[in-house]
Structure 1
Amino acid sequence: MTDDLTLTFLGTGTSTGIPVIGCECETCRSTDPRNTRTRSSILIETPETTLLVDSGPDLRQQALRENIRRIDAVLYTHGHLDHVTGFDDLRAFCWHRDAPLPMHATTECMATLRSMFAWAFSSANTYRGYVKPDPRLIEGPFTYGRLKITPLPVQHASVETVGFLFEYPGCKSAAYFPDAKAFPPVTLAALKDVDVLVIDSLQPTPHATHFSNEEALAMIGEVKAREAWLIHLGHQNEHMTLESTLPRHVKVAYDGLKLSLARTT
């Protein structure tokens, strides 16, 4: 087994998913599979560990499609519904564990999880078939094996939201920000010259709580990311049309895409 950091895009869509219910636009009627987008989530894998970032409402479908058999921990960016409501599907990754499943979240997000899924966090939750969370508050960088994970704050609506910077020996650094409208100075500093930036790019026009395409490109330029992938895409963004407008180092992600982040030179 070679040392590698692999990032799989489980979902790349916004909160509605694509196609949008009842919509007849070009993107929603497209036969290009890259325009079919489940809610945004990624899987991070190293030889030692497998981590899920967010458990959205399409988790079951995503896990079956990618044949995910094991998750060692879940990392949450924030508590909005499109990032947490696949929580109960995590029981499939608890059945064969003796220990509870670590779940990393901010104080606000953990409170949301405890409120929405109180049965899972209850001391009365003893049935083996249920989700067994091991709640771990995000208070700074943490590690799984040789993988270093640095949570970084972002501005997104009124909820406490973070993205994550992943660093693994011998591999490109990768940062993941599915929901953001602005990066504070501490986050900008941490992302300078990041190798791979995965970033929110909701739509061509400005939005109150998400980066527009233009804003995402500006942020990619500001941090000098060597490579970038656009995600959390709304149906206003048709895959080929959007990609044709981008600089060479920026691409449009799609569900099922896998990135090997091992350095080749």
Structure 2
Amino acid sequence: MTITFLGTGTSQGVPVIACGCEVCTSADRRDNRLRTSILIEAEDKTIVIDSGPDFRYQMLRAGVKHLDAIVFTHEHKDHIAGMDDIRAFNYFQGGPVDVYADARVRKALTREFPYIFDGTGYPGIPQVNVHPIGLEPFNIGEIKLIPIEVLHYMLPVLGFRVSDFTYITDAKTISETEKQKIKGTKILVINALQKENHISHFTLNEAINFAKDIGAETTYLTHISHRLGKHEDIAKELPPGIFLSYDGLELNM
């Protein structure tokens, strides 16, 4: 299984429009961060977790030629806005793309993309097969996903464990019950927005402490704001086994 970080930035991406800070003007490509998403490629299935506003470019940049499914973490625009661009996959694959989403996400998708779900069958609209999910494990082909509920301030958000890999974005608090689903994972991906306290995201120190509590062999930080600092500088501050992710990073499992 190969996992590619399609985007590692927060809702505004990095660089931020009109910002002249040292991160947004950095020449280091690792400081350029599209909205957060990952690609999972297994022997029998290729899936994406979240399709934000940068989805089209992410698919082109990663050279994705086939997509079986999109799995959604939650309904915020930076995680769902790009779903319309699955139309190209519909055309070349000759059929719909599977979509896995909980009740709140399904409601948001219907609101944001009413033409997909209104039954008119207008030519050229995205074709999807929607699969409801909750907190029970489910399979996409041979890929088994275990949902993990976290809180993004007061909004429930789903993370996912796939074998020894766990992916969590937009977390501020995680219950002890849900932590038990993560224990034993070898590779952890967790959000780390900035150093200063934030109402709905882990800070850098909170993410580090969470990673130490879980005890994964390797942790990658994602959903990163320009306020965190330059990649090169922050990387030097991190404890052993904890790294900043960056767009295009590939993990082979």
What is the TM-score normalised by the length of structure 2?
0.96
Superposed counterparts of 1:116-195, under 5 Å: 116-127=112-123, 129-139=124-134, 140-167=136-163, 173-195=164-186
What is the alpha-carbon root mean square deviation over aligned residues? Answer: 1.1
Aligned residues: 251
SS in 1 for 2:152: coil
Identity %, equivalent residues: 37
How far apart in 1 are the matches of 2:96 and 2:65? 16
Is 1:33 the counterpart of 2:25 in the alignment? no
Aligned to 2:202: 211
How far apart in 2 are the matches of 1:145 and 1:79? 24
How far apart in 1 are the matches of 2:213 and 2:121? 47
Please report how far the alpha carbon of residue 95 of structure 1 lies from its aligned counterpart in structure 2 after TM superposition.
1.2
Is 1:6 the counterpart of 2:2 in the alignment? yes
Is 1:96 the counterpart of 2:107 in the alignment? no
Please report how far the alpha carbon of residue 208 of structure 1 lies from its aligned counterpart in structure 2 after TM superposition.
0.2
Is 1:197 the counterpart of 2:183 in the alignment? no
SS in 2 for 1:94: helix
Of the candidates 108, 112, 115, which is equivalent to residue 112 of structure 1?
108
Instruction: Judge conservation of contact 2:98–2:131 (CA < 8 Å) in 1.
Output: yes
Deviations 1:162-187 (A, max 9, x none): 001012xxxxx111112100111222
Runs of 4+ off more than 4 Å:
none
SS in 2 for 1:51: strand
How far apart in 1 are the matches of 2:90 and 2:177? 35
Aligned to 2:248: 256
Instruction: Judge conservation of contact 2:115–2:122 (CA < 8 Å) in 1.
Output: no
Instruction: Judge conservation of contact 1:76–1:104 (CA < 8 Å) in 2.
Output: yes
Aligned to 1:170: none
Instruction: Judge conservation of contact 2:51–2:80 (CA < 8 Å) in 1.
Output: yes
How far apart in 2 are the matches of 1:158 and 1:68? 35
Please report how far the alpha carbon of residue 160 of structure 1 lies from its aligned counterpart in structure 2 after TM superposition.
2.8
Is 1:227 the counterpart of 2:218 in the alignment? yes
Instruction: Judge conservation of contact 2:4–2:250 (CA < 8 Å) in 1.
Output: yes
Which segment drifts farther, 157-166 or 68-77? Answer: 157-166
Instruction: Judge conservation of contact 2:115–2:125 (CA < 8 Å) in 1.
Output: no
Instruction: Judge conservation of contact 2:56–2:85 (CA < 8 Å) in 1.
Output: yes
